[in-house]
Amino acid sequence: MAKLKSLIKLEGTLDGLTFYKTKDGYLVRTKGGISKKRMATDPAFARTRENGSEFGHCAKMGKVLRKAMLTLLSDAKEGSTSTRIMQTLSRVKNNDATSVRGQRNVAVGLETMEGKALLKGFDFNTNAPLSTVLLADYALNTTTGEVTIADFIPGQQLAIPGGSTHVSLSAGFMNIDFSTDTKDLQLSNSVELPINNTAVAVVLTPAGVPVGTGNNMYFLKIAFYQELNGFKYPLNNGSFNTLQLIEVL
């Protein structure tokens, strides 16, 4: 590594030299690294190729999952959501005990109880985990996807963000097959309530049972609003909203 002492300041690569700017000024170094051809053919890099293949697969499956549930996810996520999904799916993939190294995949990992357990309870917004936001018990009917909360008191059984006046609860029931990238998401009704001390029976029933031969996934979402002059506005653009994958079958 050398320091560039010239009136002409360069950034980029020229004749095998890479010029770049740092806090110490403009530096130059020779172009290094392993060639693409060697990386693709050299037996010494077999493990690297296998890891890269599985990494790419998990990144793709993460995108498939996010796209499949976009209706729920759009206002209940934060900056690390995509990365955390991919990391979790990578651990799910590790439970594939039948495929050769480099070809282990999420679909086979999710055939195991261990793989399903890794996804169950995933919070898409770490700023608002379900366990800290909802202080009431809920029941899930895995046949219909219906989620119920008996005698729900919003003013007592929620961790209420400042400024919120109303809350809405909804559920999702999805079948997703990671081996074919097919999915079917059925959304429930949305129950909107003022945040007060009135007890309400919450019943969230998906529009139907999703079709498919993949995994069934069940979601519970809580969103907060502020009412002003008769209009309800999402609180802080949804940064306090909760979305959890509450069950995987």
Domain residue extents for the chain: 1-32, 43-119, 130-248
User: What are the residues facing 21 on neighbouring strands?
Assistant: 26
User: What are the residues facing 193 on neighbouring strands?
Assistant: 167
- Helix 81-93 to helix 46-68 angle (10° resolution) is 120
Q: Say if residues 215 and 175 touch (Cβ distance below 8 Å).
A: yes
DSSP H helices in the chain: 36-41, 46-68, 70-73, 81-93, 106-109, 113-119, 130-133
Q: Minimal CA–CA distance to 71: which of 124, 116, 115, 107?
A: 124
CA distance 200 to 202: 6
Per-residue pLDDT of the chain (249 residues; tens, 9 = 90+): 445 455 555 555 655 566 666 766 766 665 666 666 765 666 666 677 888 889 999 999 999 999 999 999 999 999 999 999 999 999 999 999 999 999 999 999 999 999 999 999 999 999 999 999 999 999 999 999 999 999 999 999 999 999 999 999 999 999 999 999 999 999 999 999 999 999 999 999 999 999 999 999 999 999 999 999 989 999 888 899 999 999 999
Please identify, in words, the CATH class of the domain defined by 130-248: mainly beta
Q: Among all chains, which residue has been given the structure tokens 């306090």? A: 240
pLDDT recorded at residue 4: 47
